[in-house]
Structure 1
């Protein structure tokens, strides 16, 4: 039985493990944490609508359900040419036929970034955001800033949607508590039109949302630094804030940057359409760790990471059976999300032919809640998987 080593236990790595096990490969999954984290539903942890443990799935339960081997450890180095992986514990892994790299991305580090917290950072940061919000609510008033950044070397590495979602959920939480008029909510981003990748119609609707919720906009100024009491922009103007939630753009994983793997200017692994790493045999990269090629609006999202992972499982199987019907990720490039607002949601979709944003009052919120439960149960094999989800 051929052996596959997977580095990373997020959406991409776990999906690859599940589908490779379906084809009876000997799979070892390496993850630096002992749980799978459902990031899209983490937006409700800070508002207290969801418990932290409810969006964590024990990897040992997933291991039992699917039959892969599990190593909970961090990756220290990757030596692709010599097919040698060194873990933070000092253990060395070199007995594998295929390597799938799914370690995600690092984050760009602006000056003073420690003065902010990110809903897309380490999972525990969602709890720290909740603590900050609870402190301000106990105080009875405050100024809160939400924002996200960009990576000039790779525009696909921007992740702003969760920032908008958390903003709108906090707005609705404060409104329900009768405190909204006591808080100043701000949204900032260095690009002139944050969210433009979703399409013009969606951009206009987002502006309407921001106006309706009385959110002050600060767009088009590069971020110079973060301080305890606010954000400094390139013109030295300051956005005052008692608490700042900021999602940095993705950057090449530090382990990848120091490896012999081929990288684009941002440090993401260069791959072809079939997720094969350029210049290496039987090594694949999927999800945020990979350099995604395509139109300017392309974005790294969980559903694309899973498509890439399933394709890799298929492509490995094709190779083992001496067949050539490989699958690529390019035809699946799109933006797809249900952007939650706490009292509803909006369905967002974009591809090369169309861009749509459809309001889903009330029901959209519960649809996304339902997806979170579906994600957990389907990953555990407790309910059937819906094709494409």
Structure 2
């Protein structure tokens, strides 16, 4: 039985482990955490609508259910030329026939980033956000700033949706407490039209949301630094802020810089349509694949790194490894599946967002949209535990 090692226990890594086991490979998943953190539903932790524990999936439980091996350790290096990887506790390993790199991305640096909290960073920052928000609610007033950054070297590495969702949820949370008028909410971003990749119609609708909810906008100015109580921009203008939530743009995982893998200008692993990793000598690896946020996506200017794309890449990679092992060439690519798909939650409703090569749309879903996203979170957990059937399109 051929051995497949997966580096990374996020959406892409877990999906790859599940599907590779379906093809009867000997699968080992390596993760630096013993749980998978469900980032899309973490937006409710700061407002107290969801608990931190409910937002986790135990990887040991999943390994028992699906039959893959689990090793909780931190990857510190990958050497494609030596067909090896190094772990913090267990040292250098080369005991695999295929390697799937699903390590996720690093974050672009920013001056004073320690003065911010993020809903898309280390999971426990969601609890720190809750503590800060609760303290300001106890105080009775405050200035709250929410935003995200960009990476000009790779437009797909921007993750703005959770920032929009969180500010809308905080607005709704404060409104329920009768305190909304005591708080100034501002959304900031260095680009002039944040959210444009969702499409022109969606961009106009987002602007309507901001106006209706009395959320201030601060767009089109590069961020110079984050201070303890303010954000400073390139023209030395500033926003006062009692709480700054900032999602830094992604960049390539820094531990791959000397891996022997070919990296894009932004540091992501270059792959072909079938997720086979490219080596720094220009050749395709015959046994290393890269999936999810760690990989450089090809395609439309509006493409985005999203969880459902990571899972498509994972399933295709499992299929492609099986094809290679059976000396067949019916490989499946990810590029035809590139789209933007999300339910953007507002706390009291949501908007369904979709874009592909032919159309883009944002459909408001008052009330029911919020429960639709709640339902997705429950579906994700139960389907991964094999307690309910997996939908073919999810």
* TM-score, structure 2 normalization: 0.98
Q: Which residue number corresponds to residue 311 of structure 1?
A: 316
Correspondent of 1:370 among 362, 368, 375 = 375
Equivalent residues in 2 for 1:114-193 (5 A)? 114-193=114-193
Counterpart-to-counterpart distance in 2, 1:229 and 1:87: 39
Q: 1:282 maps to what in 2?
A: 287
Q: 83-92 or 207-216, which moves further after superposition?
A: 83-92
Matched, 1:330 2:335: yes
Is 2:28 aligned against 1:23?
Answer: no
| Whole-Å separation in 2 of the counterparts to 1:387 and 1:230 | 47
- How far apart, CA to CA, are the structure 2 residues paired with 1:371 and 1:19? 21
Tell me, yes or no, if structure 1 residue 239 matches structure 2 residue 244: no
Deviations 1:78-101 (A, max 9, x none): 001101110011422211000000
Report the 3-state secondary structure (helix = DSSP H, G, I; strand = E; otherwise coil) of the residue aligned with 1:111. coil
- CA deviations 1:283-322 (Å, max 9, x no partner) are 0000000000111100000000000000000000111111
TM superposition shift of 1:258: 3.1
**Structure 2 residue 353 is the aligned partner of structure 1 residue 339:** no
CA contact (8 A) 2:3 2:25 kept: yes
Aligned to 1:102: 102
CA deviation map 1:121-142 (0-9, x unaligned): 0111100100110010011000
User: Using the alignment, how far apart are the partners of 1:256 and 1:377 within structure 2?
Assistant: 34
**Mapping 1:348-367, distance limit 5 Å:** 348-367=353-372
The farther-off stretch of 188-197 and 250-259 is 250-259
Quote the residue 1:46 is aligned against: 46
Name 1:382's counterpart in structure 2: 387
C-alpha contact (below 8 Å) 2:80/2:260 kept by paired residues: yes
Please say if residues 79 and 258 of structure 2, whose CA atoms lie closer than 8 Å, have aligned partners that are also in contact.
no
Number of the residue aligned with 1:250: 250
Q: Please, which moves more after superposition, 192-201 or 90-99? A: 90-99
Deviation of the 1:109 alpha carbon: 1.2
Report the alpha carbon displacement of residue 259 of structure 1 after superposing the two structures with TM.
Answer: 1.8
In structure 2, how many angstroms separate the alpha carbons of the residues matched to 1:256 and 1:212?
A: 45
Tell me which residue corresponds to 1:14: 14
> Per-residue deviation at 1:256?
1.2
Encode CA deviations 1:101-151: one digit per residue, 9 max, x unaligned. 000000011000000000000111100100110010011000000000000
For the residues of structure 2 that align with 1:111 and 1:204, how far apart are their CA atoms? Answer: 32
Deviations for 1:334-361, whole angstroms, at most 9, x for unmatched residues? 0000000000000000011000000000
CA–CA distance in structure 2, aligned partners of residues 230 and 292 of structure 1: 35
Deviation at 1:217, TM superposition (A): 0.2
SS of match in other structure, 1:192: coil
Give the 3-state SS of the residue equivalent to 1:117 in structure 2. Answer: coil
SS of 2:144's partner is strand
- Number of residue pairs the alignment of both structures matches: 389
Match of 1:211 in 2: 211
Match of 1:76 in 2: 76
| Separation in structure 2 between the aligned mates of residue 211 and residue 230 of structure 1, nearest angstrom | 23
Show the counterpart of 2:35.
Answer: 35
Mapped partners of 2:21, 2:197: distance in 1: 36
Give the match's secondary structure for 2:276: coil
CA displacement 1:3-45 (0-9 Å, x = unmatched): 0000000000000000000111000000010001111000000
1:208-228 CA deviation, whole Å, 9 max, x = no partner? 001111011000000010000
Distance 1:258 1:94 in 2: 17
Q: Supply the distance in 2 between the matched residues of 1:269 and 1:62 (Cα, whole angstroms).
A: 28
